[in-house]
Structure 1
Amino acid sequence: MSEPTGAARRRGPFKVGDQVQLTDPKGRHYTFTLEAGKSFHTHKGAFPHDELIGAPEGTVVRTTGNVDYLALRPLLPDYVLSMPRGAAVVYPKDAGQILAMADIFPGARVVEAGVGSGSLSTFLLRAIGDQGMLHSYERREDFARIAQENVARYFGGPHPAWRVTVGDLQDHLSDTDVDRVILDMLAPWECLDPVAKALVPGGILCAYVATTTQLARTVETIREHGAFNEPTAWETMVRTWHVEGLAVRPDHRMIGHTGFLLTARRLADGVVPPRRRRRPAPGAYGADYTGPGGQSGQGGQNGAEGAEGA
């Protein structure tokens, strides 16, 4: 039985072609690819790649400047933050939330719109495995090319479960019986009709948006569409901590807002979603509100309160 794609690059002694992450005494990272006969150079000296080829992970190498570096393979979060970029990458904290909250499972059939630099694609491919399917749509050919190069570099070649289409998802989506759809794009609300047709009942739509206006319009359009249950929206923030003896405190820097995530599940055909029973906050649908269909705030407010009283 052959190993899953990319598994051989994650274990065993260092080999030619492996990515190596060096950590210096100050915690700074340096990533490079092992090549026979080459040397790694820093302002603190150099050492030959051959010292690492055949050595186990966790090896310490010393440069000609007498500085020690710890050598490990970069983790996937390290890799995606250091890889060449076309568009901004999906941060590991958000990719992890997508894998968990969109319930990405081995063998899943997934559609992704907005490939960017291939960060999320790499996370998705590793989660679904060789028996799954990831069909990614990207408007820009240059972004698609950079993403394909980054994914191939991580897995050691093209991934058998991945297909990339250059073009708009609205115009090209023909997949059926899809388990999950991930939208990382400017206007995900424009794609709800083709997404609803592609998803199986119970399938999950997950959208990643940057601003509150995008979030609000996406959520309200999903509610109005009728093919999905009540969406859930959230964001995540990561704060590391400094731990040194009795000096235990949060670090001064943190990964704050990067984007909002929301999920909704596909209902069975012909099912009417249950009415919302939660009363909206005062003014939520006031005179200044214009919904996704262009309705005035007064109609939206009355409709929401009518659902509360029903």
Structure 2
Amino acid sequence: MALKSFNIAIVGAGRVGTLMAKFLSQVLGHRIIAVVSRSDESIERFLKRVKADVASKSIHDLPSEVEVIFITTSDSAIKEVAEKISKLENLNFKNLVVYHTSGVLTSDVLDSLHRCGSEVGSLHPIYSVSHFDYTVDEIKKIKFTLEGSKKIYDITKWIFYNFDSNIFPIDKSCKVLYHIACVFASNYVIALLNAIGEILRKANLNVDDKFLIPLVEASLKNADELGVVNALTGPIERGDLETLELHLNELKDKFPEILPLYSSLAIETIRVAFKKKSISVNLASQMLGLVSSYIGKK
């Protein structure tokens, strides 16, 4: 539990807003005094999972005793929401802390509130938030990146007391690169699983999309235990040029829409295999030349 229980408002009652509210109230012991969202449906869904003193569709109903606001709307709405909050006359801005939860935007988007005297920050949960009902044990494991005004780091350690080790500072100039990494780690893994399922169906295997998930899990376990580079296996790591060519030809003939994806990942895999010292400079060059010759082919 936190040393002090803060009065917190959540603006945006979607998946991220609900997750943050559960972390703040059920893990850290803070009080959710208000939730503001655009629809009755989202508010009702939120209140089934998290208690809030005030529930409204209007930003003007934020209570004056609020100390911390989390803006958990879509990225495109954050600046407008912040500007609306900055015009409220009942808030004590000099004692107010405001975060948004965008992975790609910096705290600069909250500048209208910072000019009013509030401390501001971007606090991004490093998690794939696909539903509303994560357990407390799952929520406790979530890590965050943080950047913002000078005092925001000490304030965040206070708010996340006992969980401040879950907070990782990031320079605002690096947020876009960081977010790209998150997209690779989450969204593109799902895209790869979809491609895997399509390939298996074209191979006439009577299995579902989960068929190769144990293989994916084993790869992740190896990466965790051995390190990413040392976990690499497969035909490229073994230097099997012939198998690589068989793959490229088969995709060119039977799955040309996935050939560019395979080719891009093969190039990165060649880099990893060379870093692992599994293949020589000469073999890496041959492989890159082979893969490059298929890029753009239909």
TM-score over 0.5 (shorter chain): no
Q: Report the TM-score range of the alignment, normalised by the length of the smaller protein.
A: 0.3 to 0.5
More helix by share: 2
More strand by share: 1
